[in-house]
Amino acid sequence: MTIDHELIIVGGGPAGLTAGLYAARAKLDVVLLEKGATGGQVLNTDWVDNYPGFPDGLSGFDLADKMTAQAKRFELEIKQTPIIGMDLKHDIKTLHLEEGGTLTCKTLILATGARPNHIDIPGEAEFAARGVSYCATCDAPFYRGRTVAVIGGGNTAIQEAGHLTKFADKVYVIHRRDELRATKILQEKVFANNKIEFIWDTIPTAITGDNTGVTGIELKNVKTDTASKLAVEGVFVLIGIQPNNEMIPLDQLETENGFIITDKEMLTSVPGVFAAGDLISKNFRQIANAVGEATTACLSAEHYLAHLK
């Protein structure tokens, strides 16, 4: 049987591109499959200030472009082809392409990432990256001395609300119930933080702004139906994320809430299948840790291939 590649990488965000860089530089027979443009969520990030090596920061687009160019310098083959399914049950892994046909490989790195849940209200898309953010760790320093709103009551929203108070003067937490989902220990910290004000039983109905970006948020109390408005310069939508796992056979490998479980070598529960980046089950999702995991995943795949021979 002819096997198409030693290694296939699925996903062309920072994790996939890093795995691709290492694999191509190690002269593995590798191809990276991406459904659209390379860069992943970074492409939707206005400005990146926390990726090492760029002391002045750079735009998400520039970072994606530089990562792609660096991988291509080592002749990484990147194919724009969506995957619609895969079979991981055998030693040789098979990927089903949307355009028809299959590709086979000895090792696979899954790096398809995740996407933040959107609140789907007027103004959200219009002001994305102009005051609407899905990552407080990334964007909090842009809100020094300002007033911002956090939507959500889970661990992410509550932890990030605390982080935001290091920069913002005032943080409103807007939650649709009168009780937080976040763990008690995180709750105790934010309840003691006098920069944070909770607005309970309330959902946002619109984000408003002008050519400077976000200027306010419109709200509705779900118990009383009362409408209100708040002047804010930033809205952090932190209501959970979804793994991009639609093409992955979740009955064939171990997952947690749809995120892939890996060990410290980035190996999944299936021999020869590794995963890295936002798709894996973990607490922190940053470009820098995705890149680190992808490095480990590629070196582990290389080690696995060496032991097959």
Cα distance between residue 239 and residue 130, in whole Å? 19
Closer to ligand NAP by CB, 193 or 295: give it: 193
Has 298 been annotated as catalytic?
Answer: no
Closest distance of CB 204 from ligand NAP, Å:
8
Q: For the CB of residue 81, give the shortest distance to ligand NAP in the complex, in Å.
A: 31
154 counts as binding ligand NAP under rule CB under 6 A? yes
Report the chain's C-alpha Rg in angstroms: 21
Helix (H) or strand (E) segment spanning residue 231: strand 227-231
Selection from 183, 159, 160 nearest residue 235 by Cα: 160
Q: Which of positions 195-234 make contact with ligand NAP (CB under 6 A)?
A: 203
Q: Which two tokens stand for residue 270?
A: 């299936």
User: Which residues in the 39-78 window bind ligand NAP by CB under 6 A?
Assistant: none
Is the CB of residue 235 less than 8 Å from the CB of residue 148? yes
135 is catalytic: yes
Cβ-based nearer residue to ligand NAP, 141 or 240 = 240
- Residues 150 and 159: their CA atoms lie apart, in Å, by 11
Catalytic residue among 138, 201, 210, 278: 138
> In the bound complex, what is the minimum distance in angstroms from residue 114's beta carbon to ligand NAP?
10
Any alpha helices (H) in 204-276, and if so which ranges?
A: none
Residue 189 lies near ligand NAP (rule: CB under 6 A): no
Residue 143 token pair: 């809100």
Which of 82, 85, 141, 240 is close enough to bind ligand NAP by CB under 6 A?
240
159 binds ligand NAP (CB under 6 A): yes
State the residue for tokens 């083959």.
77
For ligand NAP, the binding residue among 8, 157, 196, 248 (CB under 6 A) is 157
Angle between helices 287-308 and 14-25 (to 10 degrees): 40
List contacts with ligand NAP (CB under 6 A): 119, 151-157, 159, 176-177, 181, 203, 239-241, 283
- The residues assigned a catalytic role are 135, 138-139
